[in-house]
Amino acid sequence: MIKFIDILEAYGANFRENYITPKLDTPVNRKLMNILSQKFDFDYFRNAAEKWSLGSKRHIFFNRYFKGDEEKTRDLPYNNMNQFMKDSLFLDDDKINELAFLLITNLKVENWLTDPILEPYDYYFYELDYYDDYVSDEEEEDCQTCDECGGSGYEDEDCGYCDGEGETRYECGICDGEGSIRDDEGEEEQCDECDGSGNEELECDECHGDGTSNEDCHWCGGDTEVCDTTYFHQIIEMRIKLISPVKLPGPGEKVGEYYTEGYTDWYEAMSEIKGIIVLSDNTWDVHNQEYDIDNDSHDLEIYKKTDRIVEFYEHTLKGEMEDWRFDQLSHPFKSILR
C-alpha cells in the first residue's frame, strides 16, 4: 500500500532547490494525480473539454473548473479541487501548476499509475505578434488657456455703452439735471436724489458693472480655451503564446487547401489541431497614424497592417523552460493558474 506520508517525503521540503527543468512523469506526480483522479470526476472534465474553443480552453479549465466557481453556486465536480491540493495534499503553488499543466496535456490518461504520460517537453512553444483586424478612428485634443482673453472667454475691450466705467449716467429725474429743487416755500435746496450732481449713475445693463465688453472672444469663441485636435487611426498589436504537441505551419504556409496569409486564417487552421493550448493572448502594443480628417484614405500604411502576423517565434517547450527557468514570471507553467 502506498502511504500518503511517503508521497510527501518523496516530494520533499527542499523540492524547489536546483529546480530548472522538472520532469513531470515522475512517481510522485503519478501518485498525486492518482489521488486526484479518484477524488474528482475526470470523465466529466474530458467530456466538457471537447466543447471548448481553442482560446477559452485554458481560462475555462483552470479558472472555472480547477479553481472553482465562487461567484455562482454551481455543484461542479471540480469546485474546491485547487483548495484540496493546498489544504489536504499540502502542495505549494509551483507543484499545483505542474500538476495542472500535466493534466491538461494528458486528458486521455485514465490510469495515472500505469498509462503512458506525455511529457510537455515534447510540445512546441510558439509566440506570435499579430495585428488586430480592425482599425479604429481616434481623436485627441490638446487644450490651452486662450492667450487673447486670458481665459475669460470675452473680448478684452471696454464696454461700448459705459466706456469701461461700469456705470451709465442718466439725467436725474427728480431735479431734471439741475442738481437742486425748490421746496414748498420756493426756496432752492440741493437735490437729495443726485446729491446735487444733476445725474444718476446706474450699473450698466450691458456689462453688468464689469466695464468690459460682453462679446465672445474672437480667438476662442468664448470657450476660454484654444484646442488643437489631432485625428489618428489606431491598430492594436497582440501577442499570443501557445503550446502544441505537433509542429505548426508558419504564416504563408499551406494548410489543407489554402494558405495562412493572415492571422485569422492561421488561427482558424490551428483550431482544428488537437492538443493546442493557448497560454496567453494579450495586447502587446498600440500603433497610431495621424491623418487629415478632410483627406482620409484607406491607402494609408496602417490599413495594410490589419490581420498581419508580425513575428513568428518557434521553440521547443523544453528549450523555453530551460531558457527562462522555473522562477521566472513568464515561465509557461506560470501561465496556467491566475
Question: What are the tens digits of pLDDT across the range 89-141?
Answer: 898 877 887 888 788 778 788 899 999 988 767 788 888 999 999 999 998 88
Q: Which helix (H) or strand (E) holds 41?
A: none
Tell me the Cα Rg of the chain. Answer: 39
Give the count of beta carbons closer than 10 Å to the beta carbon of residue 205. Answer: 10
Return the pLDDT at 287: 94
Return the pLDDT at 319: 78
Concatenated DSSP letters of 42-109: HHHHHHHHTT--TTTHHHIIIIIISS--TTTT---TTTTHHHHHHHTS---HHHHHHHHHHHHT-TT-
Q: Which residues of the chain have pLDDT under 50?
A: 1, 5, 8, 11-19, 59-60, 73-75, 325-332, 335-338
- 3-state DSSP assignment of residue 144: strand
Give the count of beta carbons closer than 10 Å to the beta carbon of residue 31. Answer: 17
Query: Amino acid letter at 94?
Result: D
Q: How far apart are CA 257 and CA 253, in angstroms?
A: 11
